[in-house]
Amino acid sequence: MVSADVPGAISLVVPGNVRALDPAPAMFEAMLTGWMRQQQSRLLARKTIGDRLSLVRRFALFNGTYPWEWTPEDVEAYFSAQLSGTSPLAHSTVRGQQGDLQLFCAFVTDGRYGWASACQEAFGQVPVQVCHDWNTADHVASFEGRPGRRALTYDELQTLFDAADDRVEQRRKRRRKGVLAAWRDAVLLKQVYAFGTRRRETAMLDLQDLRHNPRAKAYGRFGALEVRFGKASRGSPPKRRTVLTVPEMDWIVPLLEEWVDEVRVGFSPGRHPALWVSERCGRLGLRRLGRFLQIIGSLVDVCR
């Protein structure tokens, strides 16, 4: 099959009149560049592309070989190492990495991109698909979490919420800075639990995303939460959904009302639309929110 000028093709990555002094690593880097461009043309997220490229680099470094030298045994050796030791990878992580490696091999073996014929000419070998049904994990269960982890009981959940509230009281009694931040974190934790929002979904919430629910007028403007930055499918924009406030979680209504009307103004956000604002009068960032959720995760383990 003749190489075409499609995103990721070798003809668009490697100039035809240039020869590398060290052809093997140059070819490998060109493959990664081509794969990156091919994925960009599919509108995949930058993080997704970066994680995949990093995986392929780690796999090549572990085996000490290049894609045109890989064998199925290399896959087995690499993932056997990832599943051994004191901190083995989760089942879902292994399955995802195997899928990404399979995608890379499918890319470099596809005749439309010209990488296989270039490797045959330069090294006398061609890349092959090294991930098969008999050396990769199957996706046969909808839940792939660790069976040892379970949901919190009501008493454990109350202990977690009390710990978040205690941080506010401790800072207030000691007259230390950060009372408002601790207050924000306590309400944010409860909002995440009540509406089940992910990290980015939570950070990107605006005041206008608090909605009325005509069938639950008692909740006022807190009858629903419009999530505009939901987890996207590959190559698609963020998904939207509306999460209703349910009677079992109506305790979140007075907490959000207090936050919006009384506490949030203490950060001096001005006209900033973000529901969760930082000490610098801007939107609470993903990194800051991620660190907070990590702390909460450690508290959860303690509560269990």
Question: What integer pLDDT is reported at residue 168 of this predicted model?
Answer: 87
Q: Is the pLDDT of residue 149 over 80?
A: no
Question: What integer pLDDT is reported at residue 88 of this predicted model?
Answer: 87
Report the SS3 class of residue 102: helix
1-28 pLDDT tens trace: 445 678 899 999 988 777 778 999 999 9
Question: What integer pLDDT is reported at residue 216 of this predicted model?
Answer: 93
List, edge to edge, every strand of the sheet that includes 239-244: 210-211, 224-230, 239-244
- Stated pTM of the model: 0.71
Q: Which two tokens stand for residue 174?
A: 């000691």
Nearest alpha-carbon partner for 114 in 16, 255, 220, 236: 16
Q: How many residues make up the chain in this entry?
A: 304
Question: What integer pLDDT is reported at residue 25 of this predicted model?
Answer: 95
* Domains of the chain by start residue, with CATH: 10-123 (1.10.150), 154-303 (1.10.443.10)
Amino acid at 73: E
Percent of the chain with pLDDT over 90: 61
Q: Is the pLDDT of residue 232 over 90?
A: no
60-94 pLDDT tens trace: 999 999 999 999 999 999 999 998 878 888 888 99
Question: What integer pLDDT is reported at residue 45 of this predicted model?
Answer: 87
CB 255 within 8 A of CB 247: no
**Mean local confidence (pLDDT), 264-273:** 92
Distance (Å, whole) CA 10 – CA 18:
13
**Torsion-angle region of residue 110: left (phi > 0), alpha (psi -120 to 50) or beta?**
beta
Question: What integer pLDDT is reported at residue 302 of this predicted model?
Answer: 62
- Distance, CA of 46 to chain centre: 11
